[in-house]
Structures are given as structure tokens and as C-alpha cells.
Amino acid sequence: MKQILIISNRLPVNVTINEGEIETVPSVGGLATGMSSIYKYYSAKWIGWPGLNESDSKIRTKIGKALKKHEYIPVFMQEELFEDFYYGFSNKTIWPLYHYFTQYVEYKKHTWEAYKKVNAFYADQVIENAEEGAYVWVHDYHLQLLPKMLREKRPDLIIGFFLHIPFPSYEVFRILPWRDEIIEGLLGADLIGFHTYDYERHFLSAVRRLRGYDIDFNQVNLDDRFVKVDAFPMGIDYEKFANTAMKHQQMAVKDRSKIQQEIDKHYLMAPDQKLVLSIDRLDYSKGIANRLEAFDYFLDKYPEFKEKVTLVMVATPSRTAVAQYQQMKSEVDELVGHINGKYASINWTPIWYFYRSFPFDTLIDLYTSCDIGLLTPIRDGMNLVAKEFVASKVDQKGVLILSEMAGAAKEMGEALIINPNNYEEIADALNEAMIMPEEEHKEKMSSMQNRLQRYSVEKWARDFVEGMENTISLKEKHYSKNINTAIEKDILSKYKNANKRLLFLDYDGTLVGFQKRPEMAKPDKELLKLLDSLAEDPKNELVIISGRDRETLEKWFKGKPYTLITDHGVWRKEPKEDWQMIETLHADWKEQLRPALEFYVDRTPGSILEEKSFSLAWHYRKVDPELGNMRAIELKDEFMSLIANHNLDILEGNKVIEIKNSGVNKGRAAVAKIGNNKYDFTVAIGDDWTDEYIFEEIPDDTITIKVGIVKTAARFNVESQKDVRPLLKKLMESGG
């Protein structure tokens, strides 16, 4: 069976030490349930923190042995390091930032260093336990640096990453001082998953704006590979909740839980009263204080429901050592006391408040007994409680009120969707839920239940792993043209045995990397030496074929023993000869179009206009990526009508749009250069769309090479511009 390693901050197990003996109790629900389905099809191991920081090496060894029977591998760390990593950077920097609570974010270098160190600990454990080509599924915000660490040390691994919390908009994410490191860390994965398309879109925007990588739909194109990004809304173990709820409803009265018996008594005393359920961790992202304020407002606005509705509020303790959580606990306590003091009567308490966690069976009793679910997080990655509440309504009676800021709202449109900051809207939704006809209850519940049943947590897990598997076939498809050792050996052999060779080399993006300004990409000494060596071989004809203007290439390569073709094929200069115009062109059209292009420069900060002999080029490499792409589309649309009667073409290159005379391209120029000459070996190397003309028009036996892992007419690919010079050097050395 194929191996899969599941990596999370915390192992799905509770470990206790009693008189030196290790006891382990596996967790249930949530991620643990989803991963259990993966164990059926793969040889799975789970790596994570065991829940305690034991310094005694002997105890650590005993814990490791106890966990091994569950296929769990513990990651231990010192207490101080754990504090800085977990309570520090993870939950005082990433958590508030990703949930838009920027006022709580701490920017402390020592916690960032701890975060890096712990991610490295996890990487060591993965590398130690991963088989060749294993799948590695990394979970959540604690381990965002891990994918890159694994990629650098074990490129054979198939790496997936899933973020269980929101990914914020670019404007929020850019606040983080270590934003580039986080992005690059995540891009070490082959597949990155989010709960919703919104989070996916935010991530891609950050990648484009901060790192400048090209995005093709949901694919990030890196220099040497690509990363798929997609949305996978996490589900729940639907059958477990539905079946347990059905079982509880069929129980004899004497066998019911204590809390269920109390609820039954309540309904006997007040059969017309409705219970509104609120269950959350006590976290500022959950909007608990807002919810209480809105409930207060509801009782004021709709006084007819006094003594007819009770809010059952369960707040599970969370991160009690963090100051913001302590402050929030006090605020919630005061609000509950205020509302109960304001409205309570001898026979009615408006809010039943429980500051503790409940076991699974008790939660089911609350889900089945309460009439309305009120879940109003200010920001939430998914909110599985909403799904659990719906799944437990086996009689299909009940109404869900859900915040539009929860990821689950994207799937549960039949719920009453509200803005968690709008008390009026929450109050009106409570009123609507109170008076909603039973038939409407059932219709809405049925639709949501059918959807949740189809897309369970097991289906979510399988879909993600299948997505990881699909990246393998996509890689094989994209890399099938890559120049491997065998292909390279064949090319070198053909080169060595040839007596007459022709080499077409593009310049920008092929021989040199792209620069912020075109004039900064001048050739370095190493490149000039390499090109001179190739050109000095009497068997070789070397051609630099570029979209650059002739003045620039003349300045850079003056007196060099090779052919220069410029302006996408307008001008050609043979060694020791004067420039010749390959195509007869005119340039009077530039005066008419230059003002329109200058207008785009003026309103697109960072863009520049480059004027060549027979073309105008609008460069937008330094422009905000999203603005640049939008302006480029706008410019192309506008200029299509402007150039219609001028025999001109729009040429789109890498972050540049060029207006030039129609019918002129590198392909025609290359064919003209070949003419009636016979060559034993011809190679053409280029990186962008303009080079496709060469690949398509020159003879079929030409060795055509595309720089970059993209769709192309070329026969072969190299991964990046950095691979071109080594290949040319090998050709030179094999020529004899």
C-alpha cells in the first residue's frame, strides 16, 4: 500500500501518565474521523505533538511505544519552545491576523524563531519516517513552513497542505512581517486546500501580489514546477450524528442523560417555550459577545417572546492563559448576568450559561432538543457545529441561524444567513425562526441534510488525497517534455556529430532573467564568454533573436561574431556586416497610438512605455499584479479597434504588450535566416509566446526548447532560465 503521512500540530489522542504508566485514548470526531477513512486505502502514520511536554527521555520512549500501536509518531519539544510556538506565534500572531483581529496581533521575533524551529522539528520527523514517493498531508496554520522544508530535502514526496482557518485578504495578510516566508513555505506543497473559494482567492491574490508568480486559473506557476490550489469544504461524520440522534430519541425516559431529563422537564412546564442553542469555543472570533448583545436587542424589539424563549449558551474554555481570552470570559460573564438580571422572572431565566465542554452524547441531546441553532461567528474557517446541528435534526424540525462570515454559509444557503455585526438582522432572524411554519423547517432541513450526507468528512478526505494523486499525473504530463539525462545525452551526441550547426537563442527570459526595467538586463561577463565560445566554433552559426530594439543589442553585442535579429524579426545583422531590414515597414502609426499608450502609463503606476523603431511596448512588470492584468485586458480590448485599419498586431509577451506591424514575427525571421542552407543540427531556445512562432515555423527536425513548464509547441522543456546556460555550456564542451 502507498504510504501517507498525516501531519498536524496535535495528535488525535489524549496521553496521560499515571504512576509511570502511559495511557492513550484516541480522539473522535472532526479530523480524526476524516483521516480514519484514509487508513483503509493507505499505509498511514500520523505525526504530531502528543499533548504534553515530557523532558524525561525514558518517559518519552515509553510514550512513543504506546503511541506506535496507533501508528502515531510523537514530536516532543521543550516547554518554553512550545509556549513561544503555540501560544506565541501560532495563536497570538497567525490566529488573530487570519481572523481579521489585527488589534490582537503580536509581532515578536523570538516567537517567529520558535515557529521556524518547531516546523523544522516536524520536518525531521517526516523525513525520518517517509518512504520514497510517500504522500504527506500537512494540516493547519501551525505548520505553514513545513511544505517548503520538506520540498527542499525530499523532492520525491507528494505534499498536500490544508488550512482549517480562513486565509485573509491580501490587505490584511500583507501586514505580517514574515509574509513572504509564509507564502513560500506553503508553495512547497503540490496541492493547497482551503474550505471555501474566498480563501483560495485571497491566497492566490497574495501569491500574485507579494511574490509575482503567474496564476493560471487555480494553478501557481513557479520557475521549476506548479502548485494546484483548490477549495475542499470539510464535512462531518453525518451518519454518526444522525444515527446517535435517532437512538437518543428512541430511548426510554429512565435511560436518558441527566441534561436531557432536565430539558424534558422544562418542556413539560413550558410546552410553548423554544430553546435557542449556541455552542462555541470561548474565542473572540466566534462573536459570542455580539450574540448576547443581539439577544438582548431581540427581547427588547420583540417583547412578545419574553418567557417564551431561552438561550442555551455553551462556551467551551479555550486558551485560558491568553490575556484576550481571560478578558473575553469576564465580558461574557457580565453580559449574561446583565441580561438575566434585566429580564428574568420567577419562572424564566433568559440564558442558561455553561462554561465547560460536554461529552458527545450530551451535545447530541442539546442538538436534538433545541429548536433553533444560533451561530454567529465574526470570522470562521468552516464551523462544523452548524453541520452537526443540522445532521442531528432527524425529525427535520428546527431552524439554523448562521453567520455569513462562517465558511459553512457557502454550503448552507437554506439557513437564515445573517451579518454577525448587525443586531437588527439577528433579532429579525430570531423572530422569523420563532414563527416559521413546521413545513418550512422540514423543507430547509431536508435540503441541507441531503447535501451534508453526500459530502461527509470521509468524502472530503478522499477528495483531497485524490487531488494529491492527480498532481502526479499533471506533473507527468507537464514534465514529459523535460530534458532528462537520456534526452540531454542524445542532444549532445547530435551536436557533437554535426558539421554545420545553427543556434537560435532568445534573449530576455532565456539567456538572462527578467529585470524590473528593460535596460537593466544587459549581458554579464559569464554570458558574453559563453556566447563567444559557441560562436568561435567554425561549425556554429549563433543567432540571438529578440524582441529588443536594434540599438540596444548593437550596444551590448557590438563587434561580436554572431547574428543579431531584433524587433521580433524586423532587423538582422550578420557578423561584420551592416544592419538590414528583413521586412519593409512603416512607423507613422506610432504618432497616433503613442498618446493612448501614455494614458495607460499615467494611470497605471509602475508601468513604462518603451519605443522601438517599428513598435511600441507597454511594460507592466512593476505594476501591482492584479491591476496590471486588468489594465492589460483593458488595453488589448481598446487597441483591437484602434489598430483595425492599420495593418498592426498586438503581441503579448511576459508582462509586456507590444503594438507592432502585422506579419512580422520571429518565426518568419528564423525561416529567412535558414533560407536554402542545409544544417546538420539546429536548435531554438525561447521562453515566451513570441518564441512559439519559431517553434512552429522552422523545420520539424529542429531541437526546439521552451524555457518554463508551460504548454508549448516546442519538443522539449527546461524548467527555468537558470537551466539554459548550463545546457549551452555542455554543448560547447561536447563540440570538440
The whole-angstrom separation of Cα 432 and Cα 424 is: 12
How many Å separate Cα 314 from the centre of its chain? 33
> How would you classify the pairing of strands 214-216 and 219-221?
antiparallel
Is 723 tagged catalytic? no
Q: Which three cell numbers mark 295?
A: 439577544
Give the contacts of 725 (CB within 8 A, at least 6 positions apart).
Answer: 511, 526, 527, 530
Phi, psi of 556 (to 5 degrees): -75, -35
Here the cell at position 571 is: 532587423
User: 252, 267, 32: which is closest to 139 by C-alpha?
Assistant: 32
Strands 563-566 and 571-573: antiparallel
Q: Please state, in angstroms and rounded to a whole number, the distance separating the CA atoms of residues 435 and 344.
A: 22
DSSP 540-567: EEEEEE-SS-HHHHHHHHTT-SSEEEET
Joined together, the cell numbers standing for residue 6 give 498525516
| Alpha-carbon distances of 314 from 24, 325, 357, 365, rounded to whole Å | 27, 16, 8, 13
User: How would you list the strands of the sheet with 399-403, edge to edge?
Assistant: 351-354, 309-316, 274-281, 372-375, 399-403, 416-418
Strand bridging mode 43-49 / 3-10:
parallel
Output b/e per residue, 125-135; b: 16+ Cβ within 10 A: bbeeebeeebb
CA 704 – CA 702 distance, rounded (Å): 6
Residue 73, helix vs strand vs coil: strand
Long-range pairs for 248-255 at CB < 8 Å and ≥24 separation? Answer: 248/361, 248/364, 248/365, 248/368, 249/368, 249/394, 249/395
Among the listed residues 296, 506, 508, 691, the single catalytic one is 506
Query: Hey, what's the cell of 448?
Result: 441541507
Instruction: Please tell me whether residue 6 adopts helix, strand or coil conformation.
Output: strand
Q: Which amino acids are annotated catalytic?
A: 506
